[in-house]
Structure 1
Amino acid sequence: MPDNTSEKTPISLLGLGAMGTALARTWLAAGHPLTLWNRSPGRSAALAADGARVASTAAEAVAENGLVVLCLLDDASVGDALADADLTGKDLVDLTTTTPAEARERARWAAGRGARFLDGGIMAIPSMIGTPGSGGYVLYSGSRELFEDRKDVLTVPAGTKYVGADAGFAALYDVALLSAMYGMFAGISHAFALVREEEIEAGEFGSLLADWLIAMAPHARSSAAGPDGGDPADQDTTSPAVVAAGNATLLRTAVEQGVGTGPLTAFMATPGEDAAG
């Protein structure tokens, strides 16, 4: 349950990789008492000098405070770290990158051990944590009560977005958003590969590419409505025949320029169909 012993909520943080360290520094700077544990003890020395308490075991760190935040390598690491900890009455906030199924199973596991559970997906890189206006935020799903009780402290490192009581939703949103980003990066790499051997100035082309992608970004909103929903003015009315001809041109051009067609065929495949099919 929420700690009311001081104005600033005390936190136990497990995991001091680049992201965990950024979280720790931000909470310390905001005046939150912090207990730390990391599998490699050396990483905690600088934070200890800044006022953090360093626990010798994960179980000791968990016992120290009611709010326990995890930022570890993977879900298996979470299970290993908490294996000997007494979780009765604890609030677990798991910021470890996991799959939706892993998050749901971890929520059930935590409930069985007497803890409330909130899963989080960090939509930021470490340098964005604690940086006002960076645009970084954390997706949360699971116990709505826990989210509301701890929102003030969770908002310190980055903005928060609660996405549902299903504990797997934060991980699902996280992976879906990252998948779109990696798809964009693949497209950017493909675009530069097409022009690389030509007498085209890379900086000028990059500027055109950035502007084009920004112009196309709102398509994500109209895509959410599906082909039969949303504002008709936002819908693509290009005929299937024209789309097919255009796709064929993109593929032929890639072949002419000696560039692989993987990013294109992955997008052009029918949903649920293998890209090679």
Structure 2
Amino acid sequence: MNHEAVTVIGMGSMGRALAEAFRAAGHPTTVWNRSPAKAAALVARGAVRAETVADAIAASPLIVVCVLDYDAMYATLAADEAALAGRTVVNLGSGSPEQAREAAVWAARLGAAYVDGAIMSTPPGIGRPESMLLYSGDAAAFARHVGTLRALGDPLDLGPDAGVASLYDTALLGVMWATLTGWLHGSAVVGADGVRAADFTPIANRWLAHAVTGFIGHYAAQVDAGAYPGDDATLDVHLATMDHLVHASRDRGVDTALPELYRAYTERAIAAGHGADGYARVIEGLRA
């Protein structure tokens, strides 16, 4: 196995997790942070602490940056950015697709390869093969370093457009928040009648894992085709059921804003003459 040297810049909780995963997988790991004390435990386990950013860059062909945002990345590397020539920068900070594409241009100007990444895990998940990390950008650079990046989790290549990983990240976070809020709302509804969240959740998880993911897979083809047959349940049927949720929530003193939002999108589609269509029709209202 080729134990490529890697540098990690940024020793927040995620940066430390990344560096530890590389180190544990046998990669010579150099770390740098503005506050050196944050790297002390890693250094004690065998990582090398660079005294300067220039030293950190010089130590490895692969530079993984995990700081707050793109502005923080530029500020951290500004004095030594010329040293990035011939190296690969993998940015695992957060931001927008537009910022990722601008960063790719910045790296190209310096003669560096650029790969943007999105970590779909919290720090405890780093290093686990089931954890998913999204990457997009320089295809040749990704191919060179994918073996090293695999130490962090499952590396998914989304193609050469540097902005796509961030785009997916943003959209997936929306799915997460919608799902978590829906579960919290459901827990509040059943909890008002004395049902514990711990008892409700296994059934909710089973519903999500089988029925709901099945709906999503079925609806994906409809979204791409722009055709929404009501072959499982029409919007008229969905609306009637949403009314039950609104009423049950209100009767139990649970906030109704979330089900009312679902209902508003559904009512809008029905008012436009699409009551016989399936639920995927709602995307047209979201696009508008």
Are the counterparts in 2 of residues 101 and 168 from structure 1 also a CA contact under 8 Å? yes
Q: Which amino acid aligns with 1:224?
A: A
Report SS of the residue matched to 1:65. Answer: coil
Moved over 6 A (4+): none
Equivalence for 1:3: none
The equivalent position to 2:3 in structure 1, one of 8, 26, 33, is 8
1:164-243 mapped onto 2 (5 Å cutoff): 164-215=159-210, 216-226=212-222, 236-243=231-238
Equivalence for 1:131: 128
1:30 partnered with 2:22: no
Are the counterparts in 2 of residues 222 and 235 from structure 1 also a CA contact under 8 Å? no
Are the counterparts in 1 of residues 119 and 134 from structure 2 also a CA contact under 8 Å? yes
Are the counterparts in 1 of residues 242 and 262 from structure 2 also a CA contact under 8 Å? no
Are the counterparts in 1 of residues 223 and 283 from structure 2 also a CA contact under 8 Å? no
The equivalent position to 2:34 in structure 1, one of 36, 39, 59, is 39
Shift of the 202–115 alpha-carbon distance from structure 1 to 2, 3 Å rule, reads closer
1:104 partnered with 2:140: no
Q: Which amino acid aligns with 2:132?
A: Y
Q: How many residues align?
A: 265
Shift of the 200–28 alpha-carbon distance from structure 1 to 2, 3 Å rule, reads closer
Q: Deviation of residue 64 (structure 1)?
A: 2.4
Q: Which amino acid aligns with 2:15?
A: G
Shift of the 202–95 alpha-carbon distance from structure 1 to 2, 3 Å rule, reads closer
The equivalent position to 1:250 in structure 2, one of 234, 245, 265, is 245
- Between the aligned partners of 1:121 and 1:227, the Cα distance in structure 2 is 25
Q: Deviation of residue 273 (structure 1)?
A: 5.4
Are the counterparts in 2 of residues 34 and 53 from structure 1 also a CA contact under 8 Å? yes
1:148 partnered with 2:143: yes
Q: Which amino acid aligns with 1:121?
A: A
Equivalence for 2:111: 114
- Between the aligned partners of 2:79 and 2:171, the Cα distance in structure 1 is 33
- Between the aligned partners of 2:63 and 2:140, the Cα distance in structure 1 is 16
Q: Deviations over 1:15-49 (max 9, x none)?
A: 11122111111211222111111122101111112
The equivalent position to 1:160 in structure 2, one of 146, 155, 178, is 155
Q: Deviations over 1:97-131 (max 9, x none)?
A: 22111111111111111111000111122112223
Shift of the 120–206 alpha-carbon distance from structure 1 to 2, 3 Å rule, reads same
Are the counterparts in 1 of residues 92 and 119 from structure 2 also a CA contact under 8 Å? yes
1:18 partnered with 2:13: yes
Q: Deviation of residue 235 (structure 1)?
A: 6.7
Greater share of helix: 2
Shift of the 201–152 alpha-carbon distance from structure 1 to 2, 3 Å rule, reads closer
Report SS of the residue matched to 1:117. Answer: strand
Q: Deviation of residue 163 (structure 1)?
A: 0.6
Q: Which moves more between the two structures, 262-271 or 49-58? A: 262-271
- Between the aligned partners of 1:69 and 1:26, the Cα distance in structure 2 is 12
Shift of the 251–91 alpha-carbon distance from structure 1 to 2, 3 Å rule, reads same
Query: Structure 2 unaligned runs (5+)?
Result: 266-281
Q: Deviation of residue 213 (structure 1)?
A: 1.8
Report SS of the residue matched to 2:151. Answer: coil
- Between the aligned partners of 1:101 and 1:130, the Cα distance in structure 2 is 28
- Between the aligned partners of 2:249 and 2:154, the Cα distance in structure 1 is 41
1:263 partnered with 2:261: no
The equivalent position to 1:92 in structure 2, one of 50, 67, 89, is 89
The equivalent position to 2:69 in structure 1, one of 68, 71, 74, is 74
RMSD: 2.4
Q: Deviation of residue 7 (structure 1)?
A: 4.0
Equivalence for 2:43: 48
